[in-house]
């Protein structure tokens, strides 16, 4: 199982939101490259980066993403999502040195996009982010929901050639209440490599995800608030 320490970017700063709400922000670091370096020094193999400004349609953090990718080249692989809603956007971030781009809203609103993206960049360089809110898939920076479930969308995108799904229960994100392992396992049962995101609070949360056979887990707030160290987290999922 792989661990993905998270760097959420807003106006060039490292922040975390509670339940994805833009007005519930906590700022943790003004230098995202320094944060990435700290994760690399602690032994991370991957870093998960989210461009919140792009997700909310209020700009982008492309310069910071590029700087992180340059600093991590040859050391740590970077996975990046947030507002990637076209094939061109995915290709652009991959050209910066990002290893894997994450499609979110567009995987729901543009049903043909996943198949085209898999054909163009390959399934190993693409993930689909499925975020749920009240049982339905959340889109457009989590401010709207689509009338479909995560299982329905996962079945379709797997049929289109996608392999990796990042699953988030929005209600748990940034709340330290534990990830939705049950929901993630339901997607894994379809044949997906599922990365659980949102709510990780303890090392036992990570062990539960590992026991469930999930491919990975994303950890943010628990690391920033020193609930445990990254080294201990990496040991828990090994």
Q: How many CB atoms lie within 10 A of CB 41?
A: 12
C-alpha to C-alpha distance for 164 and 238, rounded to whole angstroms = 19
pLDDT at 144: 81
Q: How many CB atoms lie within 10 A of CB 12?
A: 14
C-alpha to C-alpha distance for 102 and 82, rounded to whole angstroms = 7
pLDDT at 173: 74
pLDDT at 172: 84
Domain that holds residue 18: 2-237
pLDDT at 133: 84
pLDDT at 19: 61
pLDDT at 151: 93
pLDDT at 21: 61
Q: Along the 238 residues of the chain, how does pLDDT read in single tens digits?
A: 999 999 999 999 999 776 656 666 577 878 999 999 999 999 999 999 999 999 888 999 999 999 999 999 999 999 999 999 999 999 999 999 999 999 988 888 898 999 999 999 999 999 999 988 877 888 876 678 888 999 999 999 999 999 999 999 888 877 788 999 999 999 999 999 999 999 999 999 999 999 999 999 999 999 999 999 999 999 999 9
Per the structure block, which two tokens stand in for 220? 């943010």
Torsion angle defined by CA atoms of residues 158, 3, 8 and 59, in that order, rounded to the nearest 10 degrees: -30
State how many domains the chain has. 1
Residue where the block lists tokens 């748990």: 172
Which residues does the annotation mark as catalytic?
A: 8, 131
228 and 222 Cβ atoms separated by less than 8 Å? yes
pLDDT at 23: 61
The H-assigned helical ranges of 189-228 are: 203-211, 221-224
The CATH number that applies at residue 28 is 3.20.20.70
């Amino acid at each position: 199982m792989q661990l993905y320490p998270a760097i959420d970017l807003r106006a060039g700063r490292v922040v975390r939101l509670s339940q994805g709400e833009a007005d519930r922000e906590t700022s943790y670091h003004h230098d995202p490259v320094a944060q990435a370096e700290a994760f690399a020094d602690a032994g991370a193999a991957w870093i998960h980066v989210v461009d919140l400004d792009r997700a909310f349609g209020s700009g982008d953090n492309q310069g910071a993403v590029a700087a992180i990718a340059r600093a991590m080249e040859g050391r740590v692989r970077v996975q990046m999502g947030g507002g990637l809603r076209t094939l061109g956007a995915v290709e652009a971030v991959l050209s910066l040195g990002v290893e894997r781009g994450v499609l979110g809203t567009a995987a729901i609103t543009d049903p043909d996009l996943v198949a085209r993206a898999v054909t163009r960049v390959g399934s190993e360089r693409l993930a689909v982010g499925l975020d749920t809110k009240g049982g339905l898939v959340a889109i457009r920076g989590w401010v709207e929901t689509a009338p479909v479930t995560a299982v329905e969308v996962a079945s379709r995108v797997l049929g289109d050639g996608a392999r990796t799904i990042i699953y988030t229960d929005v209600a748990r994100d940034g709340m330290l209440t534990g990830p939705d392992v049950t929901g993630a396992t339901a997607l894994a049962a379809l044949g997906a490599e599922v990365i659980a995101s949102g709510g990780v609070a303890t090392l036992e949360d990570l062990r539960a995800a590992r026991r469930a056979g999930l491919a990975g887990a994303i950890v943010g707030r628990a690391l920033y608030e020193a609930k445990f160290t990254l080294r201990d987290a990496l040991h828990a999922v090994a």
